[in-house]
């Protein structure tokens, strides 16, 4: 049985932030989420996450996905492991991973675990051209001797390019017997987990597992590294979709979250951002600068420069440019939602059109309805939101105010400029506006009176 501990209690001082480091986002998701996802994908059981001074926020964000231990104050990675031991079984194996290394692939975790013998312990190392900041792997000949932290390293040790990736597989029994030997006589005055590794190598079999792709171990200690990790993850996800039938026209400016699903022949324009549990169906074109959050988009949809949040869009729908679909919308197939339209919590039936400048909120709109330019559902009376129901085939003229609660019957017409407050029966016309009167000669008389002044 392999238990898992995630170290996430460090103060993250180098981030200069009120937010705990592991909650800083990569592609709109906290960095710790990637670590937990990789562990889950590798089939490891629920991890124990060691959290620190501002652990409440971390516990809240990941409630149900892990158990938690509190290390307060944090006194180093060795101290964090000591805290974790109190919550772990007496023996067995323990995978230790850091909450600030979000790029591990589950495949690599599994390869590492199987590379370490059942009775042994081990670590992952990588060869870096610029090893700056990482602990260095010290060897005698081929044999692993220990890890020395950069700040404690001699000039000679700093030349070592092989670094400690911060991923360990440890025999719990051995950790229990050796952890008392750690001390804080080092540059940071902390208990280093890394000091334990040399001791473990002396006491039993110890494997160093060399990483093929050093990008996977990228640690996030400051905001430069956060940006760098974000860029790596972004590119990794885009490469995946490029290999799976998606055209990404400008990879450099495109952001796609790790949980997004895209079908073949989706085309993504420049500056697009797609996040959350969004899905896009085959052949859909997501035009430049569009943002999708938790959006379920059907097939052959065309969206231009628009924002869709937590909504479902059917097949062959056209949206935009410049539309905003706020949460709770269901747009059926073949709908056209045009320029500067805003929809919220609204269902709109197939074949309906809302081409220009409208607000449709808290409404139920049937099939083949035509919503004229500037039509507004007046859904809010300052206290309560009310619903508007517009039945199939209705025609809403330009600049109509539909004061909810309101029902517009099947095939009914609302005259342009009307402010409608009462139900409109099916097949009828509602006119609710001042009748026009023309005052003949008015302009001439006005001009004349000005002349006299």
Residues belonging to the active site = 356
Alpha carbons 350 and 315: distance in angstroms, whole number: 9
The span from the first CA to the last CA of the chain, in angstroms, equals 100
Cβ pair 195, 182 in contact under 8 A: yes
CB of 100 to Ca ion, least distance (A): 5
- Residue whose entry in the numeric block shows the structure tokens 């940071």: 188
* CA dihedral sign of residues 424, 428, 433, 434: negative
Q: Indicate if the alpha-carbon torsion angle 245, 248, 251, 253 is positive or negative.
A: negative
Which residue from 380, 358, 362 is spatially nearest to 371, judged by alpha carbons? Answer: 358
**Contact between 33 and 63 (Cβ < 8 Å):** no
- Positions 296 through 315 that interact with ligand UD1 (CB under 6 A): none
Helices first, then strands: H and E counts in the chain:
9, 41
Of 26, 85, 98, 268, which lies in the binding site for ligand UD1, with binding defined by CB under 6 A? Answer: 98
Q: Does 100 bind Ca ion (CB under 5 A)?
A: yes
For position 134 contacting ligand UD1 by CB under 6 A, the verdict is yes
Residue 193 binding ligand UD1, by CB under 6 A = yes
Question: Which is nearer to ligand UD1, 226 or 358 (by Cβ)?
Answer: 226
What the block records as the tokens of 129 is 């051209």
**Nearer of residues 96 and 420 to ligand UD1, judged by Cβ:** 96
Backbone angles phi, psi at 12, to 5 degrees: 65, 40
Residue 99 partner contact from Ca ion, ligand UD1, none using kind-dependent CB cut-offs of 5 to 8 Å:
ligand UD1
| Selected range binding ligand UD1 among 69-77, 259-267, 398-406, 414-422, rule: CB under 6 A | 69-77
State yes or no: residue 112 binds ligand UD1 (CB under 6 A).
no
The residue among 220 and 420 lying less far from Ca ion, judged by its C-beta, is: 220
* Strands lying side by side in the sheet with 429-430: 247-248, 267-268, 285-286, 302-303, 318-319, 336-339, 353-356, 370-371, 395-396, 413-414, 429-430
Q: Does 71 bind ligand UD1 (CB under 6 A)?
A: yes
Q: Which does 163 bind (CB under 5 to 8 A by kind): ligand UD1, Ca ion, none?
A: ligand UD1
CA–CA separation, 358 and 376 (whole Å): 6
Residue 108 interacting partner from Ca ion, ligand UD1, none (CB closer than 5 to 8 Å by kind): none
Stretch that binds Ca ion, among 46-54, 183-191, 215-223, 413-421 (CB under 5 A): 215-223
Spatial neighbors of 216 by CB under 8 A, at least 6 apart, are: 103, 104, 105, 108, 165
395 C-beta neighbours (distance < 10 Å), count:
18
Name the minimum Å distance from CB 407 to ligand UD1. Answer: 57
Residue nearest Ca ion (C-beta atom): 219
- If one asks whether residue 100 binds ligand UD1 (CB under 6 A), the answer comes out as yes
184 touches ligand UD1 (CB under 6 A) = no
CB of 232 to ligand UD1, least distance (A): 14
10 binds ligand UD1 (CB under 6 A): yes
Question: Looking at 74-82, 198-206, 259-267, 399-407, which segment touches ligand UD1 (CB under 6 A)?
Answer: 74-82
In three-state secondary structure terms, 439 is: coil
* Candidate residues 3, 4, 5, 7; the one interacting with ligand UD1 per rule CB under 6 A: 7
Q: Which residues contact 91 (CB under 8 A, 6 or more apart)?
A: 171, 172, 173
Residue nearest ligand UD1, CB atom distance: 135
Pick from 198, 219, 251, 328 the residue near Ca ion by CB under 5 A: 219
* Residue 221 is a binding residue for Ca ion (CB under 5 A): yes
User: Which residue of 166, 257, 314, 397 would you call a contact of ligand UD1, by CB under 6 A?
Assistant: 166
Question: By rule CB under 6 A, what count of residues binds ligand UD1?
Answer: 29
CB 75 within 8 A of CB 38: no
* 319 close to 308: Cβ distance less than 8 angstroms: yes
Q: Which of residues 28-57 bind ligand UD1 (CB under 6 A)?
A: 50
Residues at the contact surface with ligand UD1, assessed by CB under 6 A: 7-10, 50, 71, 74-77, 79-80, 98-101, 134-135, 147, 149, 163-166, 192-194, 219, 221
Residues at the contact surface with Ca ion, assessed by CB under 5 A: 100, 219, 221
């Amino acid at each position: 049985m392999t238990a898992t501990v995630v170290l996430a209690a460090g103060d993250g001082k180098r981030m200069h932030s009120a937010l705990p480091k592991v909650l800083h986002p990569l592609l709109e998701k906290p960095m710790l989420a990637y670590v937990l996802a990789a562990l889950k994908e590798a089939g490891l059981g629920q991890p124990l996450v060691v959290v620190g001074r501002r652990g409440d926020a971390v516990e809240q964000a990941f409630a149900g996905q892990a158990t938690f231990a509190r290390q307060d104050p944090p006194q180093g990675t060795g101290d964090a492991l000591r805290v974790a031991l109190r919550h772990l079984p007496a023996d067995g194996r323990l995978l230790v991973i850091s909450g600030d290394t979000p790029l591990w692939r589950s495949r690599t975790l599994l390869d590492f675990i199987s590379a370490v013998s059942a009775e042994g312990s081990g670590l992952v190392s990588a060869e870096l051209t610029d090893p700056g900041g990482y602990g260095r792997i010290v060897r005698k000949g081929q044999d692993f001797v220990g890890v020395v932290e950069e700040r404690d390293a001699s000039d000679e040790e700093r030349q070592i390019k092989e670094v400690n990736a911060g991923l360990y597989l440890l025999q719990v029994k051995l950790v229990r017997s050796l952890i008392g030997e750690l001390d804080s006589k080092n540059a940071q005055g902390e208990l280093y987990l890394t000091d334990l590794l040399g001791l473990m190598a002396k006491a039993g079999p110890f494997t160093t597992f060399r990483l093929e792709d050093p990008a996977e171990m990228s640690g996030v200690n400051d905001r430069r590294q956060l940006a760098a990790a974000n860029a790596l993850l972004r590119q990794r996800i885009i490469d995946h979709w490029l290999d799976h039938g998606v055209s990404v026209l400008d990879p450099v400016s495109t952001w796609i979250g790790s949980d997004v699903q895209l079908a073949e022949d989706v085309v993504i324009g420049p500056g697009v951002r797609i996040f959350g549990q969004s899905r896009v169906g085959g052949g859909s074109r997501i035009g430049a600068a569009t943002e999708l959050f938790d959006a379920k988009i059907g097939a052959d949809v065309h969206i231009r420069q628009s924002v869709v949040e937590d909504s479902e869009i059917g097949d062959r729908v056209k949206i935009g440019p410049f539309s905003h679909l706020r949460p709770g919308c269901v747009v059926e197939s073949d709908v056209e939602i045009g320029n500067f339209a805003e929809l919220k919590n609204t269902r709109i039936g197939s074949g309906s059109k809302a081409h220009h400048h409208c607000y449709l909120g808290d409404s139920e709109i049937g099939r083949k309805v035509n919503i004229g330019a500037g039509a507004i559902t007046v859904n809010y009376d300052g206290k309560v939101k009310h619903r508007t129901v517009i039945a199939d085939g209705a025609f809403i003229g330009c600049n109509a105010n539909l004061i909810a609660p309101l029902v517009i019957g099947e095939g009914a017409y609302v005259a342009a400029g009307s402010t409608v407050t009462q139900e409109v029966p099916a097949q009828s016309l509602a006119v609710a506006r001042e009748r026009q009167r023309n005052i003949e000669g008015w302009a001439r008389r006005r001009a004349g009176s000005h002349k006299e002044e």
